[in-house]
Structure 1
Amino acid sequence: MASSYGQFCPVAKAMEVLDERWTLLVVRELMLGSTHFNELRRGNPRMSPALLSKRLRTLERAGVIERRADGRHVTYVLTACGEELRPVVEALGAWGVRWVGYLGEADLDPHLLMFDVRRTLPTQEWPAGRTVVSLRFADVAAPVSRWWVCVTSGEVDICDYDPGFESAAHLETSLRTLTQVWRGDRSWADAVRSGALQVDAPADVRRRVAGWFGQSVFAAIPRPA
């Protein structure tokens, strides 16, 4: 736990638990449905395993999370105390979308983007059976420039290798463009109209594919004028 601020103010006391680097991002991942250590790492790929273990222990001691072990399988879940942080994290996300919109090159990560896309994909919008959409980031070097999104009866699988199924659509864009679209900084229609996002598919699929991808949970936050 962070060092004491030496203040009785409840904001200061809360920050003694929460202001260590990565702590709230671990909480964010738990709120988005990650329950296993490897899932938490995928959501925070630049966080070392040792540091993640340390932060999980801190959050457990503070009563924010509960560690559950079933044989060799360990899961982490938010307690009632942790769930009360949900509006705090959501408010931080909304503030970040509204007022900290700049994305540097270091902020762009194809693995992290596709991981987020996977867990927010509106599968109810996809056709029944199996549908595959292939994607190429023109500005990303191999082997992480090509991805395949496969939805089968509501189950999502995102691959960085060809799964061997015919694609209903192929997308060609930059990592920055798709990140902006997914965040809600830019509309799908604007990206297509400008040529920054190219969709190779039959006309009926081109009309539907934007709805298949959906957007981030923060995409609908209104931006400042």
Structure 2
Amino acid sequence: MAKGYGQFCPLAKAAELLCERWTMILVRELTAGSRRFNDLRRGMPLVSPTLLSRRLKQLVDAGVVEHVNDHNDSPAYDLTAAGRELRPMVEFMGAWGHRWVGSRLNEDDLDVSLLMWDIRRGVDATRFPAHRVVVQFEFSDAPQGRRDWWLVSENGETDLCMEDPGHEVDLLVRGDVRSLTEVWLCRTTLAETRRQRGIDVMGDERLGRQLPLWLQGSPLARLGEMGPYH
């Protein structure tokens, strides 16, 4: 850990732990439900495995994170009681960022892999029927190998596939990365983006009408839309 502030102030002591690069993003991922190392990396694609391991160790040593076993008895991580107390801070910072700095999206901020991972865990699967529904996303401007994605919704759960799962596609969403990012961040609506031809939706009309309710937007962005956080 970097040299501290040399202050007894509780805020300074908290900042020594939480304000290092990637630490709060890691806390965000754990708060969102990621547990395994590879899942944490999917939500933090630019962090190196070495640095992620270091940040996890720091949080474990501080009593914010603990080692657990997931349902497959694989090594995983979870927030302790101290870590769970950080949820309001994550939500407050996310809501504040949405209202005051979130609109400043540079090209470097656009990441199709992170976008689809966030959508996968943020959609409201209950808006689709219990039977399997497949939504394919096709991005015109994504790098080769990351232009096509499939979200498979079934029985209230949603899986993300980077390769064709082999099921019939119910809805095809075509567009560019920025347009879908703006929709996901609640900067515009899906209907408005479709009118401006930033996104096209093809397929089952009944499911298409449910799509905006399913693709409801980033949870942190939705908090920001609600106004000052209480």
Query: What is the distance in 2 between the residues matched to 1:155 and 1:202?
Result: 20
1:151-162 equivalence runs, <5 A:
151-162=153-164
1:40-51 equivalence runs, <5 A:
40-51=40-51
Amino acid at match of 1:25: I
Q: What is the aligned residue count?
A: 224
Alpha-carbon shift at residue 170 of structure 1 (Å): 1.0
1:159-208 per-residue CA deviation (whole Å, 9 max, x = no partner) reads 12222211111111110010110111111111111111111124323222
> RMSD between aligned alpha carbons?
1.8
Residues 98, 223 of structure 1: 8 Å contact kept: no
The secondary structure found in structure 1 opposite 2:168 is coil
Unmatched runs of 5 consecutive residues or more in structure 1: none
The secondary structure found in structure 2 opposite 1:219 is helix
Q: Which residue of 1 aligns with 2:198?
A: 196
Query: What is the distance in 1 between the residues matched to 2:20 and 2:205?
Result: 50
1:114-164 per-residue CA deviation (whole Å, 9 max, x = no partner) reads 111111121111112111111111111321111111112223222122222
Amino acid at match of 1:97: H
1:20-77 per-residue CA deviation (whole Å, 9 max, x = no partner) reads 1101111111100011111111110111111111111111111111123589721211
The secondary structure found in structure 1 opposite 2:214 is helix
Q: Which residue of 1 aligns with 2:37?
A: 37
Identical residues among aligned pairs (%): 45
- Whether 1:222 aligns to 2:225 is yes
Unmatched runs of 5 consecutive residues or more in structure 2: none
| TM-score normalised by the chain length of structure 1 | 0.93
Residues 97, 223 of structure 1: 8 Å contact kept: no
Residues 184, 218 of structure 1: 8 Å contact kept: no
Q: Alignment partner for residue 169 of structure 1, among 168, 171, 192?
A: 171
Query: What is the distance in 1 between the residues matched to 2:226 and 2:6?
Result: 37
Q: Alignment partner for residue 189 of structure 2, among 187, 190, 195?
A: 187
Q: Which residue of 2 aligns with 1:21?
A: 21
Query: What is the distance in 2 between the residues matched to 1:13 and 1:52?
Result: 21
Relative distance call for 1:69 and 1:165 in structure 2 (3 A) is: closer
